[in-house]
Amino acid sequence: MTSFPALLLRADTISAQGAFAEAQADFFDPDPDTLRALRDRLEATRSGVVAHFYMDPELQGILYGTQWPNIHISDSLVMADRAIAMAENGAANVAVLGVDFMAENVRAMLDAAGHGDVGVYRVRAEAIGCSLAESAEALAYGAYLERAAATPNSIHVVYINTSLRTKAHAHLKVPTITCTSSNVLQTILQTFAQEPEAHVWFGPDTYMGENLARMLEAIGAMTDPEIAAIHPGHSRGSIAALRERFHYFEAGNCVVHHMFGAQVVERIQAEYGPDTHITAHLEVPGEMFGLALAASQRGQGVVGSTSDILRYIRGKVAEAGAAADEQRLRFILGTEAGMVTAIVHDLRPTLAAHPQITVEIIFPVASEAIAITGDSELPVVPGVAGGEGCSTAGGCATCPFMKMNSIDALMDVLDRIAADDDGLDGFEPRKYLELVGGETVATVGSRPILHMRSFQRTGEVPAELLQAARGKTAG
């Protein structure tokens, strides 16, 4: 049995082991002519670009290489924040490289910040879907929310990776606040701290819900001082009480994280020693989550958001840089492979200053997750030929929806902006013309996001949200 594919990063070289890693490594140093062409278009149209970490490596490599202030690659929450900053910096347009709900969130947050005149564009006229977002639009999720609405003192914590329509209709049924993978645990703990008798309903990501329940169980086994370090409003007694009132949806998942299951974990345990760092996104299945959680408890891993994973790897490499001896750090990348471009970009300055360090980024992806295309220019691509991008034999290679974005598509939409093309309307985020509760979907769907923004600023769940939950109870 061969090990998983990997990238070896050193001060002056990047080498790949295995076809999947080679497919990632080809684009870290993009063509200068392409960089100039993109910058010229961005400058001519006064445009910015916000992109998700899960973009394909070619596109990410070009974005990182283009010297233009209004380009930013991040997780989905920060994309909207950066779009607002770009508007404040004079951007007239923002291209969103991601899936459709991300463009919707950017549009809604720009409008809420008073930048309704800034154009927001996707790079396809056709829909760019998301399996997780779509699971929240199914009848089963509606039934889940009906249960929540019938339960006294209920708060709905909805993952930001959902459409504005989902957020709007949910908020009419149950007082709703959005969350991200980086703030979901604190959102839940703070809700219970302010409203000890609340019921919290999380969705739609089933794996994240299961993992949150496991985290609450692990926190409940800690001492009171250890629990207070995580959240000062809680103790063993309060954690034990709230666990019975935490609920999660049981029929939603993301195809990217779905396949990080038992077979992947068995191979990691068999082939990699205890000195290997294990990273895992909160959305991965329980087996991978458990492995990373155990590793994190002994200082050898992290569970969290894409940004948490990036910070962890950066921190461990910085620690190694403080030592003079040669070191080889190994990291299992338990999330979408597109993250590696951000990791490489982030680590290059540190590695250049510390040639004694080698960093190995390991992709838990089986050979069956590679498709042979027959194309002379791109003979091997991540993802099985069936289109889901996953393999039951060894993990998920890449998100097929995110890869609907490309550099050619970005160039095309910028050309359309420059020409004031009549067809640009088809590239705008969905407008949602229907009314819910007498208001537009965009207006109502933005409120759960604004509740989260308030929580991030103040550390408190908005009182109006908790009052609305109590009002539902009284009604």
- Residue-wise pLDDT for 60-110, tens only, equals 899 999 999 999 998 877 899 999 999 999 999 999 999 898 998 899 889
CATH number belonging to domain 32-128+405-427? 3.40.50.10800
pLDDT at 461 over 90: yes
What is the Cα–Cα distance from 304 to 75, expressed in whole angstroms?
A: 12
Helix axis angle, 262-271 relative to 286-297, nearest 10°? 40
Output helix, strand, coil percentages for the chain, rounded to the nearest 5. Answer: 50, 15, 35
Exposure class string for 449-465: b at 16+ Cβ within 10 A, else e: bebbbbbeeeeebbeeb
Model confidence band, residue 398 (pLDDT cutoffs 50, 70, 90)? low
Residue 322 φ then ψ, to 5°:
-75, -15
Mean pLDDT of 405-416: 95
pLDDT at 392 over 70: no
Contact call for residues 228 and 235 (beta carbons, < 8 A): yes
Choose between 382 and 211: higher pLDDT.
Answer: 211
In DSSP terms, which residues pair with 279 in a beta bridge?
302, 333
Residue 4 φ then ψ, to 5°:
-65, 155
Which residues lie below 8 Å from residue 134, measured CB to CB, with a gap of 6+? none
CB atoms within 10 A of CB 433: 8
> Three-class SS of residue 7?
strand
Q: Where along the chain do the CATH 3.40.50.10800 domains lie? A: 6-26+256-400, 32-128+405-427, 131-251+432-474
Q: How many degrees, rounded to 5, is the angle at CA 172 between CA 171 and CA 176? A: 20
* Ordered alpha helix ranges (H), 179-235: 184-194, 206-220, 224-230
Contact call for residues 92 and 47 (beta carbons, < 8 A): yes
Kindly report, residue by residue over 5-42, the tens digit of the pLDDT. 899 999 989 998 887 778 777 778 889 999 999 999 99
What is the Cα–Cα distance from 409 to 398, expressed in whole angstroms?
A: 19
> Three-class SS of residue 220?
helix
Please tell me the predicted confidence (pLDDT) of residue 365.
65
Query: Of 367, 293, 297, nearest to 334 (Cα)?
Result: 293
pLDDT at 136 over 80: no
Q: Which CATH class is domain 131-251+432-474?
A: alpha beta
Instruction: Please compute, for residue 143, the number of CA atoms within 13 A of its CA located in the half-sphere on the CB side.
Output: 6
* Ordered alpha helix ranges (H), 27-93: 32-45, 57-65, 76-88
Beta strands in 46-192 (DSSP E): 47-52, 71-74, 93-97, 119-121, 154-159, 176-179
H or E segment to which residue 452 belongs: helix 441-458
Specify the fold of 6-26+256-400. Rossmann fold (3.40.50)
Which of 319-328, 361-370, 456-465 is predicted least confidently? 361-370
